[in-house]
Amino acid sequence: MSSALPTPQVGLVPRRRDLSVRDWQMPLPESGTWRVRGPAGSGVTSLLIDTVVQQVKGGVDPSGILVVASSKETGGRIRRELTDRLSETGFASASSLVRSVHSLAFALLRASSEEPVRLITGAEQDAVIRELLAGQAADGRGGWSAEHRPALNFVGFARQLRDFLLRSVERGLSPEDLEGLGRQYNLPVWTAAGGFLREYEQTMALSGAASYTSYSASELVTAALSRPIESAWHTIVVDDAQHLDPKSAELISELIPSAKLVVIGGDPEQSIFHFRGASSAFLRQFPADQEIQLSTSRRQPDRRAVVVDSRTTQLALIADTARRAHLLEGVAWSDIAVVVRSVGQIAAVRRSLLAAGVPVHLNPTDVVLSEQRIVANLLLGIRALTEELSASELNDLLLGPIGGADPVTLRRLIRGLRRFDPETRGIDTLRTLLDTEVQLPDFGEKITAREEQILLRIRGVLESGHKALAAGGSVEETLWAVWSATGLADHLLAASLRGGVTGSQADRDLDAMMSLFDAAGDFVERRPTGSIHGFLSHITDQELPTGVRDRRSAVPDAVTLVTAHGTVGSQWGTVIVVGVQEGEWPSLGETGSLFEQETLVDLIDDGILPGVPVSHTADRLREERRLFHVATSRATDTLLVTAVHAPDADEVTEPSRFLDEFCRQYSVQKENYAPDPGAPKGEYTPLRVRVLSVPSLLAELRTTVCNPQARSDERDQAARQLARLAIAGVPGADPEQWWTTTNPSVMEPLKGAEALSPSRIEGLLACPLREVLKRLIEEEQTPAALTRGSLAHAYLEAIGRGVDKQQAAELTMAAFVDIQNDPQWRAAAEQEKFSTLLERTSRWVEESRSSFTQAGVEMDLDVEVIGGVRIRGRMDRLEKDQAGEHWVVDLKTGATAISQKATDEHAQLAAYQLALSRGAFNGEKITDPKPGQEPLTVGGGVLVYPGSTTKKISTREQARRSPEQLAEFATHLPGLAAELRSATLTARVNDSCDRCPVRNLCPVQPEGKTTIHA
């Protein structure tokens, strides 16, 4: 049935070089000072490169040429193109032609400094700042005010302080300057930050034991400017000058007087790093003798703008667009980019692309090193050399890349060890056996060869580490010993060369390991006697992305997933800009508000005194608009911009204003597959995305075959196509591989009464599989949040039974405070919100007395409704109206009431109505009527929402259902009861599939493909 897997043919190919000759309509600069400006894609960078090539080919000494790039990534691209275009000239330079501004400052500082100089990463600096803040919090040190001191241990406080200090240092402010400004303008937080900066500088000066001086990137430029600068460059070329901060611009200005040729290039409309202190002032105000204006962009892609009705549809559209571009149009994976607004959006998009079979490449500098799974697992193995791991940590070690076990095999191994030593827990026996000094016993038949292989593998890895430590190996040598023993290097290399989704993940793992070894080498160099524990703390304390050394000579064959800021200086054939939503793009939040960071920048840069009202919203909006322009100007062939419009979703989303501006600017007709406010009743045609992938095709065919509501011709056609695919050996096409068609081990129905609770009936009607399995999933809500609803119901019951309202409220509030686990800053607000909930609950009871008379509270219900099927549950309240009809009341503690249409169809209320219409009072319960006893007369049902934010307490009423409607509803219940007892569960397609918590287990959903062969 199945065909053999193909054997990949792997080979190394030379990097493709683009040496096309560019035709400029003007002579290239040869001497003097020049400014080159032009929109994105007009060729500013290309003109600067050709200017350098002309200089070298004209006989100018390459050692005297300096090209300043905005970042190391942009510098790498410029360096590669210069090398390609000059390779035939045989040029030689005494130093690198291309540098970032920080690399330039580092070179100048190292040349003028007698002691060694070292650059620390942002992640290391962040860890040092958090450590110093923790010390100040513990010792009560520092000049922090009482309102700030509780926040010293918060990561957010440390991040804002770091950003504030970076902006200060970039502007040449010393600790004394900050303290003076704080006193002058009555801003104590500046004074405290100045004192902290002094302690930080003293700590960094002492940390190297006088063997070197450490600088952060922002400190480098200020330090270089503090020393005499001797320029050795006769030609200075600056690319993307709009990204320079004032101090970087000052550094370059110091080099310009001795140069014969100076060319400054950039575009003020691409200035998007103001939050880092960048300004386009240097580009705009540079006193150039001559100027070149490039007016036309050479990038003229086909543009589309698509609005859909859900994030799920948006993700499917992204994956489908990427796959069709690659498979149908021949676009290389590496020539496709997916652009998001912020780092927080990367994870969801990456998962969606990988699930669709799209290889993904992330910039290694966008991820935190210790959060990479392979790094975290290796560090866990290193920890195991010197300390005992907990049971959960040991489990993680064995299930990760280092241990190499799968959950089933590990569980069998632990059970086998328990059989081998019944007096000891299996995990404890396993921990003992991982001690390499303990000889493995003869397990007999207690464990299998595969299980013993897992045990031998992890013992071998740990033994290599112990040997390295015993031999006096350094941290770096110990790390290498453990890594080599795993054998993962060859495995990941082979996977990387094969490419595809697995290859892109292998690339990411190898990048992470290279970064880890870089960090280990730096750690050993700075601390030759440093311990394993010290290195582990050094890595795990870093919570910012770690800068890595770029060793790549080839671009990974994978789709680039990048933030909008990360697209600077790049271009791709196909670009997809994702999630252009109002509130996310533009993002108008203030930067560094805790430390009045923007006030400091205004004071130093523009002389605006603190206290003068200044609105930065317009400036932030302009920068966000420029950022959107940068993101949408990276494509050369195809550009797709997507947004979601979901006005009725739990999280309301609407397209950004930038999308309409984009459509107007480029005369693009927006494709709208979402509710249109102008259409009658919000009618629209949703977008149905068919992702061009085998799993998605199989999922659609199987969904159609399994859907009893599909047309017969559709089901027949889907069955024929599945049969063709099964004959061709496509995995997952044969029904024998489906969970719904394989033979289960047990088919006997479960024993139990045929009883249904009203709360479960609605879920069972929609999808029995979801209703049953979701209860097996660990609740995402905290115990406090779960108990909150129970306490509100208990309060409603108490006042219904005559307890004093004030006393009941006080006791309920005390219980709520006891179970609260909110942070201190939010606790009071949550208590106030819960107190309001109780007060509004009591108020509804009082106000409803004009219409209702209480008939019961927390009443048990157990009534047979049809053919032996019973409805069993408990009602919050049962009320009686003036006509003598009974109403069931259900308390809802959520903040949002459902629509009236949803209330009319509410299956839980309908189930209560059905049970009441078949039952009667027997004591304090509603049960089957006794002989001669009449069933209750039902008036309807009410949902009460005291937690709503409306002035009037929101309620939703379900009208009385007729006997015919109740009888029709009852006919569905025997089948639901049978589902609960059956050995099989029906997976049914419904409107809530995109929000289903068991989607990954559902055989009719694409994500359920992982369960097919289980």
CA angle centred on 488, ends 497 and 393, rounded to 5°: 135
Cβ(728)–Cβ(714) below 8 Å: no
Regions of the chain where pLDDT drops below 50: 1-13, 209-210, 778-783, 1012-1014
Residue 22 placed within a domain? no
CA-CA distance, 901 to 883, in Å (whole number)?
26
What does the block give as tokens for 643?
A: 């947004």
> Is 505 a member of any domain?
yes
Tell me whether residue 271 is annotated as binding. no
* Cβ atoms of 881 and 891 closer than 8 Å: no
- What is the radius of gyration, based on Cα positions, of the chain? 34
| Nearest by Cα to 131 from 207, 190, 189, 192 | 207
Number of domains in the chain: 6
User: Within 10 Å of residue 254's Cβ, how many Cβ atoms?
Assistant: 16
- Domain-located, residue 1000: no
Q: Is 41 annotated as a binding residue?
A: yes
Is residue 945 within 8 Å of residue 955, measured between CB atoms? yes
pLDDT at 681: 60
What's the angle, vertex CA 150, arms to CA 176 and CA 833, rounded to 5? 140
Task: Specify the amino acid at residue 806.
Answer: Q
Residue 418 lies in a domain: yes
- 902 and 864 housed in the same domain: yes
Domain boundary, last residue among 199, 221, 243: 221
DSSP symbols for 442-510: --TTSS-HHHHHHHHHHHHHHHHHHHHHHTT--HHHHHHHHHHHHTHHHHHHHHHHH-HHHHHHHHHHH
- The annotation status of 503 as a binding-site residue, yes or no, is no
| Beta bridge pairs of residue 32 | 261
Residue 738 lies in a domain: yes
Q: Domain boundary residue among 166, 198, 221?
A: 221
640 shares a domain with 729: no
Whether residue 123 contacts residue 544, with contact meaning beta carbons closer than 8 Å, is answered with: yes
pLDDT score at 474: 85
For the record, the structure tokens of 1014 come out as 């289980």
Token pair recorded at residue 743: 């033979």
Task: Quote the CA–CA distance of 500 and 346 in Å, as a whole number.
Answer: 19
Decide: helix, strand or coil at residue 803.
coil
CA–CA distance, 74 with 211 (Å, rounded to integer): 32
Contact, 798 vs 808, CB < 8 A? Answer: yes
127 a known binding residue?
A: no
Measure the CA–CA gap between 191 and 471, rounded to whole angstroms.
51
Spatial contact of 620 and 626, defined as CB atoms under 8 Å apart: no
Q: What is the domain-level CATH number for residue 795? A: 3.90.320
The verdict on residue 551 lying in a domain is no
**Omega before 823 cis (within 30°)?**
no
Between CA 442 and CA 419 the distance in angstroms is 13
* CA angle, residues 417, 421, 426, in degrees to nearest 5: 40
**Same domain (yes/no): 122, 159:** yes
Query: Which of residues 221, 250, 283 is at a domain's end?
Result: 221
Q: Are residues 108 and 132 both part of a single domain?
A: no
- Please list, in sequence order, all residues whose beta carbon lies within 8 angstroms of the beta carbon of residue 7, skipping any fewer than 6 positions away: none
**Which domain range does residue 465 map to?**
369-540
Question: Which residues does residue 572 pair with via DSSP β-bridges, in sequence order?
Answer: 635
Residue 36: what pLDDT? 94
130 in the same domain as 70? no
**Of 568, 596, 585, 784, the residue nearest 192 (C-alpha):** 596
495 marked among binding-site residues? no
Residues in the chain: 1014
> Widest CA span of the chain, in angstroms?
114
Q: Are residues 86 and 235 in the same domain?
A: yes
Within 256-390, where are the H helices?
281-285, 311-327, 346-355, 373-383
* CATH code of the domain covering residue 462: 1.10.486.10
The whole-angstrom separation of Cα 817 and Cα 876 is 24
Q: What b/e readout covers 948-977, taking b as 16+ CB neighbours within 10 angstroms? A: beeeebbbbebebbeeeebeebbeebbebb
Let me know: does 862 contact 848? Beta carbons within 8 Å. no
Q: If phi over 0 gives left and psi between -120 and 50 gives alpha, with beta otherwise, what is residue 886? A: beta
Nearest to 510 by CA among 554, 445, 462: 554
Nearest Cα residue to 823 out of 768, 788, 862, 784: 784
DSSP letter assigned to residue 356: T
The CATH number linked to 350 is 3.40.50.300
> Both tokens of residue 295?
């007016």
How far, in Å, CA of 359 to CA of 327, rounded?
13
Tell whether residue 422 is among the known ligand binding residues.
no
Instruction: Find the distance separating the first CA and the last CA of the chain, reported in whole Å.
Output: 18
Give CA–CA dist 941/910, Å, rounded.
8
Rounded to whole angstroms, the Cα distance separating 382 from 532 reads 8
**Chain position carrying tokens 């509501």:** 709
The token pair that represents 946 in the structure block: 């005291």
| 647 belongs to an annotated ligand binding site | no
My answer on whether 405 and 484 are in the same domain is yes
| Helix 346-355 / helix 311-327 crossing angle, nearest 10 deg | 50
Q: Are residues 885 and 970 in the same domain?
A: yes
Please check whether residue 908 lies inside any domain of the structure: yes
Rounded Cα distance, 222 and 106, in Å:
11
Residues 486 and 448 in one domain: yes
**Sign, Cα dihedral of 97, 99, 103, 105:** positive
Strands 336-340 and 559-563: parallel
| Eight-class DSSP state of 300 | -
DSSP assignments along 841-910, one per residue: HHHHHHHGGGTEEEEEEEEEEEEEEETTEEEEEEEEEEEEETTS-EEEEEE--SSSPPPHHHHHT-HHHH
Domain shared by 787 and 930, yes or no: yes
* Residue 939, SS3 per DSSP: strand
Q: Go through 544-580 and write b for each residue having 16 or more CB atoms within 10 A of its CB, e for each that does not.
A: bbbbbeeeeeeebbbbbbbbbbbbbbebbbbbbbbbb
529 and 382 belong to one structural domain: yes
116 is in an annotated binding site: no
Residues 121 and 54 in one domain: no
Q: Kindly state whether residue 996 falls inside one of the protein's structural domains.
A: no
pLDDT digits (tens, 9 = 90+) for 443-470: 777 888 888 888 888 888 889 988 988 8
- For 781-800, give one letter per residue: b (16+ CB within 10 A) or e: eeeeeebbbebbbebbbbbb
